[in-house]
Structure 1
Amino acid sequence: MATIKERTSKDGSIRYTVEVRLKGYPRQTATFKRKTDAKKWAQQTEAAIREGRHFKTAEAKKHTFAELVDRYVKEVLPNKSLSLKAQGQQLNWWSDRLGAHTLADITPAMIVQCRDELANAINYRGTKNTPATVNRYLAALNHAFTIAVRDWEWLETNPVSKKARLKEPRGRVRFLDDSERARLLEACKQSSNECLYMCVILALSTGMRQGELMGLKWSDVNLKDRYIILHETKNGERRRVPLAGHGLELLQNHAKIRRLDTQLVFPAVKHKDKPLDLRRPFETALKSAGIADFRWHDLRHCTASYLAMNGASLAEIAEILGHKQLNMVKRYSHLSDSHVSSVIESMNAKIFGGV
């Protein structure tokens, strides 16, 4: 039962103190300026107590954010795909700033403050983090809080607001023209790293992500039937990648001299069970070729762009790259205008003929 008492404060204003008493539960009180607010709070509190929702906030006072991250990393992260394992590092970044706070104390404003710090931080490239990078950190945080609310019942609500996301610019389309591509491949051939040229060729010819390519195992490669099976992908689904042309020839030759003490196709020299790190050789090759504003991931943009310019549909590009949604590849649609025009011409000729 709820009781509302009217009181006059020292400054002469009226206050309404609500007291909710239900058998078997601690007494709950609150004070309001308006009686209507007091009645509304009483009704909501009584309903929440009867439904077992009200006292869950006590769990939020028992657990710190650091505990949430530790449990998430131990119980949830191992079940995610390899491409999402980076969320552990992202959550540790949040934990360094929010870890000492109880979950009850964390507010949307605190998260926004940390977000702005991340957005202004300088990364290893010497530039500020992009909105896309910041949003990936927010996505990791959001999922951790979602699990804490939905599965662990440590929180009533998720403090990560949808408004916390930063607006991202239109998708980047940076691909190599014929001259740039020739210069880069020649620089890769001259590299001291014997695998660089082959890896760049494979990246261009298949559209595989860097993590997918460097984590490749021989058990996933079928040279006889000319395809690769990717078990760990960004969208969590297996993907079949066809092999053809020069990339296939290079991989066939590489198989003849493969290392037998590891399953990795491209193992590190000193650590056979770790993937080869091509960051520095690739940056050196770019500099030697005189190519600016280009990253390894842009090789994937090259694949998509070349496919579009050679008549592939957006659906075909999405399937090759492993995108579930077509809006991820719409950025390449302007490159296939000639293909679209020919389709329109063909349709009109069939329908209207010589009319």
Structure 2
Amino acid sequence: MAKIQVRKGAKGTTYRVEFMRDGRRVSKSFKLKKEAEKFAALVVVDDSFAHGLSNYTLNTLTLSKAIREYLDQHTGRDQNVFHRLGWWADRLGDKPVGKVTRQHIKAALDTLKSEGKAPATLNRYKAALSSVFAFICDEHDLKVNPCREVKQQSEDNARTRFLSDAELPRLLDAAKASEWPRLYMLILMAITTGARRGELIGLKWSDVDLKARTAHLHTTKNGDQRVLALTDAVISELASFREVGNGYVFPHPSRLGEPFHYFDHLWQAARSAAGITDFHFHDLRHTCASLLAMNGASLLEIAQVLGHKSITMTQRYSHLCNGHKAKLTDRVFGGIAK
């Protein structure tokens, strides 16, 4: 006997048809109640159809459709999930979920690695895809998740690569010469605000207040809202691209109404033109923190700029504050011993 369950989520109501077959629970979800009722009736009258449903799902449900089903119910705060899963859909989206193998996933991750992505980034991409498979397995009572067969990358969370005094102007000059006019503005904002890649790409003009010299991040990686302080140079760049409305500050050049997530080839071209190696986009955030530390900012002030919830994350920059601490102690205690 097939049962229809009404499931209400953040993105609307779905109808899940559930039945038992050979001791296993099998299910399928629908957006319309009529479709669910029709499917349930078919299960009851056609035993062979019900028996072969699991194999049918594995061989017909494409990864792109599985990703759409997952994102329809996704309520997480990390907006980078949409970018990562869009990347997977572009590469493996036409394959049925049952045909996606460990080799496919490993080859895709190797491509990211060859583009200079950090081990932590590769793990985030794999985790996003693994979440899709876990969701689909629960929805359709399947047992398939090739992501679990791919080895986790060893992460170096203590990495603090930042631009040197010689590298910084070279990168900015290369960005100005980019074929994408907004690359310079993006890199400049990353360095001067310490904001993450996804936070900047998700910015809309309605979030920017040129008069107050601020940009409002509604949702950050740690779930908090944050206000970015903008420098004169950033304000000048923003003013030259200023638009009326709710469009993205960094829109896709050809896809109207979409943010420009996939600018990696342009970033890599600028980095190469500047003669900079072993440097990731996220390292611009480290560069921001390093510049603050070397110019007298305290760890608490650096944490506030970067949006760290705990000062522990900021401790990696403590050695860069030594010069400032030496000057401070000399000023306060220098006259004690005569």
TM-score w.r.t. the length of structure 2 is 0.63
Deviation at 1:205, TM superposition (A): 0.9
Deviation at 1:222, TM superposition (A): 0.9
Deviation at 1:303, TM superposition (A): 0.6
CA separation of 1:78/1:316 partners in 2, compared to 1, >3 Å: closer, same or farther? same
CA separation of 1:237/1:94 partners in 2, compared to 1, >3 Å: closer, same or farther? farther
CA separation of 1:304/1:71 partners in 2, compared to 1, >3 Å: closer, same or farther? same
Q: Which residue of 2 aligns with 1:319?
A: 304
Q: Which residue of 1 aligns with 2:35?
A: none
Is the 8 Å Cα contact of residues 229 and 239 (structure 1) preserved in structure 2? yes
Distance 1:262 1:343 in 2: 46
Q: Which residue of 2 aligns with 1:240?
A: 227
Q: SS of 1:191's equivalent?
A: coil
Distance 2:311 2:25 in 1: 42
CA separation of 1:143/1:353 partners in 2, compared to 1, >3 Å: closer, same or farther? farther
Deviation readout 1:127-182 (Å, 9 max, x if unpaired): 7985424543575588789999xx99x89xxxx99xx8664234221111111111
Structure 2 unpaired stretches of 5+: 1-22, 28-52
Report the AA paired with residue 81 of structure 2.
L
Larger RCO: Structure 1 or Structure 2 (Cα < 8 Å, ≥ 6 residues apart)? 2
Distance 2:106 2:164 in 1: 34
Q: Which residue of 2 aligns with 1:171?
A: 158
Report the AA paired with residue 265 of structure 1.
V
Distance 1:343 1:215 in 2: 40
Deviation readout 1:108-139 (Å, 9 max, x if unpaired): xxxxx969x74995124527985424543575
Is the 8 Å Cα contact of residues 84 and 234 (structure 1) preserved in structure 2? no
Distance 1:123 1:278 in 2: 15
Q: SS of 1:123's equivalent?
A: helix
Is the 8 Å Cα contact of residues 77 and 220 (structure 2) preserved in structure 1? no
Which residue, out of 264, 267, 289, partners 2:248? 264
Report the AA paired with residue 80 of structure 2.
S
Q: SS of 2:172's equivalent?
A: helix
Map 1:294-305 onto structure 2 (within 5 A): 294-305=279-290
Distance 1:128 1:278 in 2: 14
Q: Greater Rg, structure 1 or structure 2?
A: 1
Q: Which residue of 1 aligns with 2:18?
A: none
CA separation of 1:231/1:170 partners in 2, compared to 1, >3 Å: closer, same or farther? closer
Map 1:106-255 onto structure 2 (within 5 A): 118=106, 121-126=109-114, 131-133=119-121, 135-136=123-124, 140=128, 167-255=154-242
Is the 8 Å Cα contact of residues 119 and 128 (structure 1) preserved in structure 2? no
Structure 1 unpaired stretches of 5+: 1-56, 102-112
Distance 2:174 2:116 in 1: 29
How many residues are paired up? 282
Q: SS of 2:227's equivalent?
A: strand
CA separation of 1:130/1:183 partners in 2, compared to 1, >3 Å: closer, same or farther? closer
Deviation at 1:95, TM superposition (A): 11
Q: Which residue of 1 aligns with 2:16?
A: none
Q: Which residue of 2 aligns with 1:22?
A: none
Is the 8 Å Cα contact of residues 261 and 272 (structure 1) preserved in structure 2? no
CA-atom RMSD in angstroms: 4.6
Report the AA paired with residue 293 of structure 1.
D
Report the AA paired with residue 299 of structure 2.
L
Distance 2:68 2:254 in 1: 33
